[in-house]
Structures are given as C-alpha cells and as structure tokens.
Structure 1
Amino acid sequence: MTISIYRRAPAAGVFAILSMFCAWGMGPATAQDAKTPDYEAIVASPDRSDADRQTDQRRQPAKMLAFTGAKPGMKVLDMEASGGYSTELLARAVAPSGTVYAQDSAAVVERSVKDKFDTRAQKPAMKNVVHVVRNYDDPIPPDVGGLDLITFFFAYHDMTYMPVDRAEMNRKMFAALKPGGFLVIADHSAKSGDSATVGKTLHRIEESTLRQEIEAAGFKLVTEADFLRHPEDPRDAPVFHPQVPTDEFVLKYQKPS
C-alpha cells in the first residue's frame, strides 16, 4: 500500500508547468537540478525541530547528505524511515522537484512510529514525501522504479530479528534502482564474529556480514566514510546506552550500469 502524504496544488499555472518540466528532467529546472545543495544550510534550516538538532550531534547529517550525493530532482527511497529524521533531510535536499519514498512496515508504523511520522508529515519541508507502508522484503510499490538513491540508515540490523527475507529485500532494492544508482547504508558496528546475532540485543551488526549480504544482490562497493567511526567503542554494549560514542560504518554501493 502506498500512501501519499502531500499532494497540494501549485499556486500558479506557470509554476505547475515548470514543476512538470522539472519532474520530466527537461526544461528550465534542469540546470538547477544539476547543482549540489548547500548541505550545511539544509541542516541549519530554522524550521527544523530542537529534537532533530539534538540528533544532529551524533549523526553529522551534513556529512551524511554530502556522502549520499542527494540533489534536487532525485527520486529516493528511505528504508525504515521510522520517525522521518533522515527522510526530512533528504526531502529538503531533493526539493523542489524530487521525491522521497519513506518506507516502513505496517506493523512497525502502528506499533511505534505512526504519530511521530504523521506529525512530521505536516511540515512544509515534507511536501515531496510519499509514505510507503509495505513489508521490508517487498518495500517498493510496483509502479515505482528507476530510483536514483536508496538510503538505509541504522536499521539493517533490525531486519535480522524480524521475519524478513533479507536476500529478497536486497534483490528488490537492487531492481528498483536505475543502472548507476546508489545505495547508501549505515549501521552500528558489532564485534568481529558477532555476525547477525546481536541485532535485537545490542542493535548492531557485523560490518562484514552486512557487506556480504548486500554484495550478494549485485551491489558494488564504491566507497566508505569514517566520519562516524569510533574505534574506542568496544562494541559490546547496546547502542541506546553507550559508555562511549558508538562505532558506526557508512558504505556507498552502486548498481552497475
């Protein structure tokens, strides 16, 4: 099931025409869409919430947005969007003509995130977001394809203790990306040898395990980032009660052209 949370009519006909051209990748908006946004300015937007600014302190969102390469006009899938912290940032980065599909399963939405996401969805910055309520191993509506970017932030480990076919999920993500499109995935690092066994207890996953699963679907590693690395983390405590900053890995994969 796909739920559109925003479909406001443009204020003027000329704006509507320009928006259509932009969505089709043609016309006057194309040059603007090629520009890289000012990610620091996005993060500093005065209408962002205090709660999100608190989260910024550990997430380093400007660096994460730059690493994703999100730009105006892009079509993005945000896996396990949860309360929409990353969804909103991505929506700001791909505005005004891009779209962000914020995905979560029906069970998770009803149990823990519906109110948070619905409240966020009322913000003007979320006008180009579509809330997609589907199972994680079938996350993309059949009428959605040719995605430029998929993000999977700090949630892949959740798939290890839910009834999710991760191999099928990864195949579906691969199929939904356009050739040359990117998957950016970040998660909390588990100790060597922990594999996928501590997802529920520590909310972590061993990096090598995640890499193997993603690469089995056909994704090719392009680069990785170290701005969330914390080698001082012994990686043996739940991430919600860290004694030191949590060690986290950030990886960028690509669907071969």
Structure 2
Amino acid sequence: MKRSILCSSTLLLSFALVACQPSAQQSAAVAETPEATPAPNLTSMLHNPSRTPANTARDEYRNPVETLEFFGVEPNMTVVEIWPGGGWYSEILAPYLQANGQFYAAHFPQSETRDFYINSRNRYAERIGSDPLFANTIMTEFAPLEQSAIAPAGTADVVLTFRNVHNWYMGDGEEALAGAFETFFTALKPGGVLGVVDHRLPEDRTDDAMRSSGYVKQSLVVKYAEQAGFVLADSSEVNANPQDTADHPRGVWTLPPSLRLGDENRAHYEAIGESDRFTLKFVKPATSE
C-alpha cells in the first residue's frame, strides 16, 4: 500500500512538471514574436528618402527638429499643416505621423484660379498618390476668407503654419488674418497648439512695410491670434537671424532661397542667409468644467 501511494505521488508530480513546461509550439511562438517597433524621432525624419538635397540644405536655416519640438509635436498626434506648398515640412511630418498619428495638409483651395496655386496644389496631390511616405496624408484646403474645413472641428492637436501669414496680409489685409486664426481655432482641440513661423518685421517700422516686403510684425500676429481666442504660451528665437535687416530691394525674396536679384550682390545675401523669423506657440484654452 505504501508503494502504491508513493507511485501515485510520483506520477502527480511528473504531470505537474510537464504541465508547467511550454510546448514546442508555444516556444516557437514566443521566439517569433517581433520586437516592438521603436517610436519615430524627428532627427531620423531628416534623412528619410522623400527629402531632396535641395531641401536638406535649408535645414540649417529652418531648424525643423528644434522648431517642431518647441511646438510639442508627437508621433501619435493629429497635425494640420497650412499651405504646405511643395512639401518642405510635409516631408518630415508625413512619415513622422504615418504609423500612429494623422497628418492633414490644408493646401490651396480648389476655387483658386491663379496658375501658380493650381499647379502647386496639383503637384502636391500627385505626390500624395505616389510617395509611400505620404500614405496617411489627408489633403484638405484653406483660404483665409472662407470657412475652410482644414480638419474636422475640435480634432487637431496641433496646427502649423510656416511663412504664410505675410501672404494673407498682403492679399487681403487684416480681414484675412482674422479669418485664418478663427479657422485654426475651430479645428483645434481644447488645449491644442497653434505654431506660427514667419518673417519678422521690426516693430518700429511702419505698417506699410508689411504690404509688399514679405515681412510681418509679430505684434500683429499676436493681436489676431488672441482676438480668435488663443493664448500666447511661448516664443522662441530658434529661427532668428540677427544678420537680417528686413530691408532689402526685393523684400524677403532678396535673400536665399529666392535670391530675386540674381547675381547682383549674391555673395552678400547668401552670407546673410534666410530671413529673421519669429516662432510663436499659441494654445487654445481648455474648456472650463
């Protein structure tokens, strides 16, 4: 009887040990489990295959990593870029947001009749359809005097506009600025961020200097952003250039990359580099409970 009990106990212990061992199939499954894909970082986006040498050459002046980090852009966010043009910043943002975020490109409106705007929009649309790194890009449109649906209302974490405010002011004056910032406010979530970069006109210059120079006063941008409901959260000098006097024969387009004077004083303007720019971070206030 004692031997029988011992044998039974031994069998039970053996079954328990076998039950605790993973099967060959389970072991293989564990071994084949892929490692988690690391989150993308902005610095790596500077070297993605969508970028051209002509665009990367402008990094030293436009400081894209530092600028986007200042605005708090993360890879899981919904981000809207206003008037992306040829896609200089889109080449960084689209792949950065592709896996876990959402990228909206609010390009020139389809109602536009000028050839430059039509052609720019069409080229951008073609790129979205052919470049895999733009696969998660949704193309919308923006016009400052229209009620543009740049993204579904209240869904964007960040709205970004680079070197565009002066165009709206030169085209339709302060009314255009009022309409633009109201559109951005509508698209953002409570607590969302609006990032603005543009060519800076010194505050002691006359307002007339903004009508054709391509430079705009920081105070004017703050005025209309706050009028729309935004709060100025921070400013950065990351895109400042103290060598730029903001007083050139062909306005801001005298400087690189446009160099509208051609070879006339070219070395001088290339030595200045791109324009002096303000970098402003606004926040849409969170709704009170």
TM-score scaled to structure 1, two decimals? 0.78
1:124 pairs with 2:129: no
* Matching of residues 21-100 of structure 1 within 5 Å: 37-100=40-103
Structure 2: how far apart are the matches of 1:55 and 1:84? 13
| 198 and 255 in structure 1: CA distance in 2 versus 1, 3 angstrom threshold | same
Whether 1:171 and 2:174 are equivalent positions in the alignment is no
Deviations 1:52-78 (A, max 9, x none): 212323212121221222222211111
1:21 counterpart residue number: none
Q: What residue is the counterpart of 1:6 in the other structure?
A: none
Would the aligned equivalents of 1:78 and 1:150 in 2 still touch at CA under 8 Å?
yes
- CA-CA distance at 1:108 after TM superposition: 7.3
Name the stretch that deviates more: 82-91 or 133-142.
133-142
Q: What secondary structure is seen at the aligned counterpart in 1 of 2:179?
A: helix
Corresponding residue for residue 4 of structure 1:
none
Q: Provide the aligned C-alpha RMSD in A.
A: 2.5
Contact 1:197 1:205 in 2 (8 A): no
Aligned AA (1:123): D
SS of structure 1 residue aligned to 2:196 = strand
Structure 1 Cα separation of the partners of residues 37 and 167 of structure 2:
37
Do residues 153 (structure 1) and 166 (structure 2) align? no
Higher mean Cα deviation, 223-232 or 188-197? 188-197
1:150 deviation in Å? Answer: 0.2
Select which of 200, 204, 213 maps to 1:202: 213
Matched, 1:136 2:144: yes
The SS at the match of 2:57 is helix
1:143-176 deviation line (CA, Å, top 9, x unaligned): 4432100001110111112246321221221121
Name 2:285's counterpart in structure 1: 256
Residues 49 and 144 from structure 1, CA distance in 2 versus in 1: closer, same or farther, beyond 3 angstroms?
Answer: farther
Partner of 1:181: 192
> Cα 1:136–1:42, aligned 2, differ >3 Å: closer, same or farther?
same
SS at match of 1:136: coil
Question: After superposition, where does 1:93-108 map in structure 2 within 5 Å?
Answer: 93-103=96-106, 104-106=108-110, 107=112
SS at match of 1:102: strand
Structure number with higher helix proportion:
2
Contact map agreement 2:190 2:284 (CA 8 A) in 1: yes
CA distance in 2, matches of 1:159, 1:209: 12
Give the Å deviation of 1:118.
3.1
Compared CA separation, residues 222 and 119, structure 1 to 2 (3 A)? same
Sort the Cα spacing of 1:148 and 1:209 in 2 relative to 1 into closer, same or farther, 3 A: same
Structure 1 match to 2:253: 240
Does residue 114 (structure 1) correspond to residue 121 (structure 2)? The answer is yes
How far has the Cα of 1:95 moved from its partner? 2.1
Partner of 1:186, secondary structure, is strand
Structure 2 contact 80–151 (Cα < 8 Å) conserved: no
Percent of residue pairs bearing the same amino acid type? 25
Identify if the C-alpha distance between structure 1 residues 152 and 134 changes in structure 2 by more than 3 Å, giving closer, same or farther.
closer
Q: Which amino acid aligns with 1:139?
A: S
- Point out the structure with max Rg over C-alpha: 2
In structure 1, stretches of 5+ residues that fail to align are 1-30
Aligned residues: 225
Question: Runs of 5+ in structure 2 lacking a partner?
Answer: 1-35, 256-268
3-state SS of paired residue (1:162): helix
